A and B are shown apart, each in its own frame.
Chain A
Amino acid sequence: MTRKPPRQVEHLVGINDVRVAVEVKPQQVAYFFACWELPALGWVHPVIPDALLGLRLPERRTFFLEYDRATETLPTLLGKLRGYDSGLSGIPFRALLLVADTAARLETLGRHVRKEGFLRRILGCVRSELSAAGIDAPSPGPSSHRSRQIFAPRMCWMTSSPDSCRQEQLFHAGISFFKELEICSDMY
């Protein structure tokens, strides 16, 4: 029997790439619902994320996922991010994970996110690197020593409090491959 995949199959495969990167270690995955599964959950919110992700770290934490293939314009994407920023009623989420196809696109997005000044935390990474390394792999550091110092313990660089630094490390536990989008432009 021959069945053809939908037209936006690249977008679908990209979301599944993130799913595979997450589910390779199934013990920390509570759930992963892609956008085509959300209607079955009774999703009523106007913003529909590309995926809804729950991790046990060890307590359950919810993340939203957006996969950007650079097919949308930047204003459209930023409008969607503003929708996340205003909050989805009844769904407390930890951060928005933004996956881009290329490093250049991620850098562009990071610049615009920094300019907009979102309240919610937005973490980003490149799809191919995420597939190769996994979601909880140590973040790929830049080649220069200075950048590595800036990036590695971000909060330690921003604040001098050791408690805050520990909290930040806990925040990044399980999703350590994702970087803060504000400093992604320093990375790439």
Chain B
Amino acid sequence: MRRSEVDCPRQSTSRISPRAIGNGLVLARKVEAVEERWRRCTASRRPHGKREAVPWKVCALSSRKSCDVVPGSAARLETPSLLCGRVQNAYLLRMRRGGGAARPLEMFLRIHVPRASRHRLPALPVSAESRPVLRMRSNPKIARPMVNVRLSERDIRVVSKCAISKWLTTGQLARLYFPQVTPDAVRKSLRRLVEAGYLVVHREHQMTEALHDSDRRVGRHLRPKASPPM
């Protein structure tokens, strides 16, 4: 319900009703009273585009007067300034204003702390603290539950072989398990396993072949138990 409907009854648009013939004067007075009440209700509304008036309780002070000297105002709390506590030469912060020395300049500064509070999230990995969520994909430790890879039989063989042989180059894996496959396809397949967290990769520099090893947790399950040869 609108405010006007609460305070003021709905009124007709015409000032004097054409039906007010007998007691028309009384009706006209009633209408005036309603209008007066309506004017009072809407008087506090500020017109569009104008600033709101200052509340009457706030005292406007001149720049020379401190709030301490205003009678009736609350006494100022004499707490040590945060800035003064941090800065050694606090007198540098004092500035002259008008004739005499004034208080040290204080102001509130908004400080943006980019990382989330780790105390509230003890399970949150450190690397994910100050980074966006998508960045977590680059961390296989974090991204593992998110990455869902369907492993083929060849993938399992590759990971098992890496678990046994420790470090295998891309060429060695290609010779063993990708005989009729282009090198790009081999690299793509291995990269998929690396991103899924099944393999770890190391490359000394760009001119050397990448070395692949199984992830330790994966390799522990895939490594077959050695049997004596003889």
Q: What residues make up the interface of A, taking CB atoms closer than 8 Å to B?
A: 1-5, 9, 12-13, 16-17, 19-20, 23-24, 30-31, 33-34, 36-37, 40-42, 52, 54, 62, 90-91, 131
Contact = CB atoms under 8 A, between A and B. Distances in A.
A96 to B, nearest CB: 16
Interface string B138-174: 0011000000000000000000000011111100100
Given A20-B172, A34-B165, A52-B229, 13 more contacts: A1-B141, A1-B200, A2-B200, A2-B202, A3-B202, A13-B169, A13-B211, A19-B165, A31-B229, A37-B226, A40-B225, A41-B227, A91-B230
A41 B227 CA distance: 7
Tell me whether chain B's interface is mostly helix, strand or loop, or mixed: mixed
Tell me whether chain A's interface is mostly helix, strand or loop, or mixed: mixed
B127 to A, nearest CB: 11
Contacts of B166: 5, 12, 16, 34, 36
A33 B226 CA distance: 8
A16 B202 CA distance: 16
B116 to A, nearest CB: 23
Contacts of A42: 228
Q: What 5 A-B pairs come out closest when comparing CB atoms?
A: A40-B226, A20-B172, A3-B200, A5-B167, A31-B229
Interface of B: 140-141, 164-169, 172, 175-176, 197, 200, 202, 211, 213, 215, 225-230
A90 B169 contact: no
A58 B170 CA distance: 31
A20 B164 contact: no
A30 B228 CA distance: 11
Contacts of A52: 229
Contact of B167 (A13, A20, A31, A54): A13
